[in-house]
Structure 1
Amino acid sequence: MFFTYLRRELRRRRKAALVVASGLALGIALVIVVSSVSSGMGKAQDKVLQSLYGLGTDMTVTKAAAAQEEGQAQRPRFRFDAQDSDSDEEQSSDRVMVQGFETLSSSTMSKVGAQDGVSDAVGGLSLQVIKVSGQFTRGQFQQDGGGEQPGGAPGGGTGQPEGRVQGGGADFDVNNYSVYGTDVTKPELGPLTSSKITSGRTFKASETNAEVVVADASYAKEKKLALGDTVTIKGVKYEVIGIATPESGDAAANLYIPLKQAQTLSDSADKVTTIYVKATDSQRIDAVKSAIQKNISGTTVTTSADLAETVSGSLSTASDLATSVGKWLSVVVLAAAFLVAGLLTSSAVSRRVREFGTLKALGWRSGRVTRQVVGEAVVNGLVGGALGIGLGLVGAYAVTAVSPTLQAELGGGGGGMNSGPGGFGGGPAREAASRTLDVALTAPVSVTTIALAVGLAVTGGLVAGAFGGWRASRLRPADALRRVE
């Protein structure tokens, strides 16, 4: 009886039911689109951060380099061997310098790895190489005048040659590039994890001290490097075994070599500039950060949350808009939709006074009348939910199809964000800070969002039914029947 009457009444009042369902649908669709866009913002920001610190890294530990007083800074010095006077052989000299931070000892890395809540910790060494190469050319002495004068001296009688040197000189080129020493025994941590090997291979665990190198794709293209080629750093020839392409943003370094090789080149035995840390649980990251800062003085611990605060540009603006304005707008629209649905249901009850009065006179109790009104409202809510989910999916698909490009600008700031490759607190973060990253926005719809939409649809129906049921329960059969003409 309940469902028969329900079906008949909904068919008889199709227009009114469609109005109520449409209002709820608009509110629910807006919630789906805003939630999906917010999720897309989060994924876009994660993609930006991933390009800086790599997969698996929860935080980095660094130590800011001590400030040097004026006159104390050591400038690069280059020395060239004396060559035979007739030799035009090219000469070169490399200066390999630790970049960005003060070095940390291997004991410090072990101490970080021993902290409660740390799953794993590996070190990396950021280097800057300045290579000067070129050649000297001997000039030619040209006499002024002719012949040799008495006394065996050309020119006059002073005994000194008269003339000038023409040609000769020096032609040298300066090449500046970054090298990163990475722990090849733990490839799941470190800056190389933010890049994908697109040609060749990555390091083997056995190549801890091998003379091999993985080159960044952009640098390899610039220097026309291919697999099997060699790169000479401070007299050591490294074979190119792989080409790495960043997943997004900029690469951590131009070249990657085994950590031991980097330590040897820079005379930094058992030293690192950055320690990459993976926590046992993502919920313990803040606690691990506090423990490291407390137990290892002088270090700077930078997490993804710290780095996220430096992200600005249209990505940050859109994220804030979707998070604050979008959600509040969704709440207001939903509240308005629920209110309108309730008022329309209540108004429909007022127009059905004679109907409900007759039903009560025939023996229907107030509770039964109320349940009938609530049932109709819940069905309207479910229909509105279905329409809202459809509209929301269309809206989210449209955002994903268009894929508007957002810009992420990484500003500097505290937290040890210094120059040079090295992760959160290392170079990729700072190196990328001077650049703008373009990220395509998507609007993924999750099962949770759909469940939220269904819950809102049922809630909207219950709110509308509560309005109408309360009104229907107050009707008295005598008052209703007096309106019968």
Structure 2
Amino acid sequence: MFFTYLRRELRRRRKAALVVASGLALGIALVIVVNSVSSGMGRAQDKVLESLYGLGTDMTVTKAATAPADGENERPRFRFDAQDDGSDEEQSTDRVMVQGFQTLSSSTVAKVAEQDGVSDAVGGLSLQVIKVSGQFTRGQFQQDGSGSAQQGGRGGEQPGGEVRGGGADFDVNNYSVYGTDVTEPALGPLTSSKITSGRTFKSSETDAEVAVVDSAYAKEKDLKVGSTVKIKTVEFEVVGIATADSGDAAANLYVPLKRAQSLSDSKDEVTTVYVQATDSQRIDSVKSAIQENISGTTVTTSADLADTVSGSLSTASSLATSVGRWLSVVVLIAAFLVAGLLTSSAVSRRVREFGTLKALGWRSGRVTRQVVGEAVVNGLVGGVLGIALGLAGAYAVTAVSPTLQAELGGGGGGGTGGPGGMGGGPMRQTASRTLEVALTAPVSVTTIGLAVGLAVAGGLIAGGFGGWRASRLRPADALRRVE
């Protein structure tokens, strides 16, 4: 009887039911779109942070570089010898320097790993290589043709003339190298890149002369798997090409950590310790423990890095989390109120009907349940429409994939434009840079569940208004009223 009467009444009042369902649908659709866009913003920010940190890294430990003492010159010096045999052969020399931070002892990695709440820790060494190559060209002496002679310094006579031509032509190549612990492939800067050609390092290649090259640098220098790259006097074989997920690589070249330490005369030293916590809820306590037990270090978490992200990504994220969600709440409240008022108004127009039902023996509770049932069905219909509209909106955002810019400022970890320019990340060329990230709007099962819950809640609220109104009707008063 309940469902029969319910079906008949909904069919008889299709327009009113559609109005109530449409109002709820708009509110639910807005909630789905805003939640999906907010989730996409979170993924975009995570992608930016992974480009600085590496996948799975919760924090980094570094030590700020000290200012040079008065009169101390840190600029690299290059020296070339003149060729005694008169040849014009090309000469080259490399300077490999630690970049960005003071070095930490490799034992620091073990100390960090021993801290309570740390799941894993691995060290990395950030280097800058300046390669100067070129050649001297001897000038040619040309006699002036006058036949006159000039007095030499020791009383002898020299033919008149001058040296013309000659000089020096040298090229400066500047690139970054990152020493990676090949025994810990799941943690560190290389995890933010995907191997698109060749392979990554093997755990046995701790001291091997092999390298993984960033795809952009490989294209610029025409490198491929099997090519060789010479740093100082060591030739490294390219075993893999890596493409950064964010489009901006951590370094131009990656080599095994021991090899990087050897190149820079930094035996058993690192510039960055990458840390993975046992639980994301313990990151703050782990940070405090490291700072307390390992003095002189700077610990930078992903939350610290997120504070340095600005640009359209940050602005859009703020709008989505504040304005968007408040707008969703306001629209939902308005939709619930409209649904409740419309349902209550419909009850007012059905006074004679409910009065007759009460006169036939229906109790107030049964009338209330009937009204609430109709409202819940309207809410579910609105939920289905809202989910469809929300999914369509989220799909449209993902299909368009608007590009957002993330501006990353320097100085996050006390460094001076070193690795990442962000306090702990791997090598970057500048202390401030801009990344472009495509926005998506993924819809999760949780969001769908929220939409269904809102639909039911909207129906119950609307039914509550109407049911309360219907339960107060008295049969005699109802039958005296004319519709």
TM range (shorter): over 0.9
Tell me if 1:252 matches 2:250.
yes
TM-score by structure 1 length? 0.95
How far 1:418 sits from its partner (Å)? 3.7
Instruction: Say which of 193, 202, 208 aligns to 2:200.
Output: 202
- In the alignment, structure 2 segments of 5+ residues that lack a partner are none
For residue 347 of structure 1, give the secondary structure of its aligned residue in structure 2: helix
How far 1:177 sits from its partner (Å)? 0.8
Q: Which residue of 2 aligns with 1:275?
A: 273
Q: Which residue of 1 aligns with 2:96?
A: 96
How far 1:422 sits from its partner (Å)? 5.8
Q: Which residue of 1 aligns with 2:344?
A: 346
Q: CA RMSD in A?
A: 2.1
Matches within 5 A, 1:312-351: 312-351=310-349
- Distance in 2 (alpha carbons) for counterparts of 1:125 and 1:161: 59
How far 1:159 sits from its partner (Å)? 3.8
Tell me if 1:64 matches 2:64.
yes
For residue 86 of structure 2, give the secondary structure of its aligned residue in structure 1: coil
- Distance in 2 (alpha carbons) for counterparts of 1:483 and 1:470: 19
Q: Is the 8 A contact 1:181 1:263 kept in 2?
A: yes
- Distance in 2 (alpha carbons) for counterparts of 1:241 and 1:294: 41
Tell me if 1:308 matches 2:312.
no
Amino acid at match of 2:217: Y
The percent of aligned pairs where both chains have the same amino acid is 84
Give per-residue Cα distances to partners, 1:127-165, cap 9 Å, x unaligned: 11111111112222233345586xx9689x874554321
Q: Is the 8 A contact 1:178 1:420 kept in 2?
A: no
Amino acid at match of 1:371: R
Amino acid at match of 1:18: L
1:310 and 1:415, CA in 2 relative to 1: closer, same or farther beyond 3 A? Answer: same
For residue 125 of structure 2, give the secondary structure of its aligned residue in structure 1: strand
- Distance in 2 (alpha carbons) for counterparts of 1:462 and 1:411: 50
Q: Is the 8 A contact 2:408 2:434 kept in 1?
A: yes
Q: Is the 8 A contact 1:57 1:189 kept in 2?
A: yes
Q: Which residue of 2 aligns with 1:473?
A: 471
Amino acid at match of 2:327: L
Q: Which residue of 1 aligns with 2:408?
A: 410
How far 1:45 sits from its partner (Å)? 1.2
Q: Which residue of 2 aligns with 1:76?
A: 76
- In the alignment, structure 1 segments of 5+ residues that lack a partner are none
Q: Which residue of 2 aligns with 1:448?
A: 446
Instruction: Say which of 455, 459, 462 aligns to 2:460.
Output: 462
How far 1:366 sits from its partner (Å)? 1.1
Give per-residue Cα distances to partners, 1:339-395, cap 9 Å, x unaligned: 011111111111111111111111111111111111111111111111111111111
Give per-residue Cα distances to partners, 1:255-279, cap 9 Å, x unaligned: 1111111111111110000011111
For residue 419 of structure 2, give the secondary structure of its aligned residue in structure 1: coil
1:482 and 1:427, CA in 2 relative to 1: closer, same or farther beyond 3 A? Answer: closer
- Distance in 2 (alpha carbons) for counterparts of 1:112 and 1:428: 18
* Count of matched residue positions in the alignment of Structure 1 and Structure 2: 483
Give per-residue Cα distances to partners, 1:56-85, cap 9 Å, x unaligned: 211111000011244323221112233224
- Distance in 1 (alpha carbons) for counterparts of 2:267 and 2:202: 21
- Distance in 2 (alpha carbons) for counterparts of 1:374 and 1:80: 91
How far 1:484 sits from its partner (Å)? 4.9
For residue 124 of structure 1, give the secondary structure of its aligned residue in structure 2: strand
- Distance in 2 (alpha carbons) for counterparts of 1:112 and 1:433: 26
- Distance in 2 (alpha carbons) for counterparts of 1:429 and 1:147: 63
1:469 and 1:141, CA in 2 relative to 1: closer, same or farther beyond 3 A? Answer: same
For residue 222 of structure 1, give the secondary structure of its aligned residue in structure 2: helix
Q: Is the 8 A contact 1:410 1:432 kept in 2?
A: no
Q: Which residue of 1 aligns with 2:162?
A: 164
- Distance in 2 (alpha carbons) for counterparts of 1:337 and 1:165: 91
Q: Is the 8 A contact 2:62 2:299 kept in 1?
A: yes
324-333 or 64-73, which deviates more: 64-73
Q: Is the 8 A contact 1:129 1:179 kept in 2?
A: yes
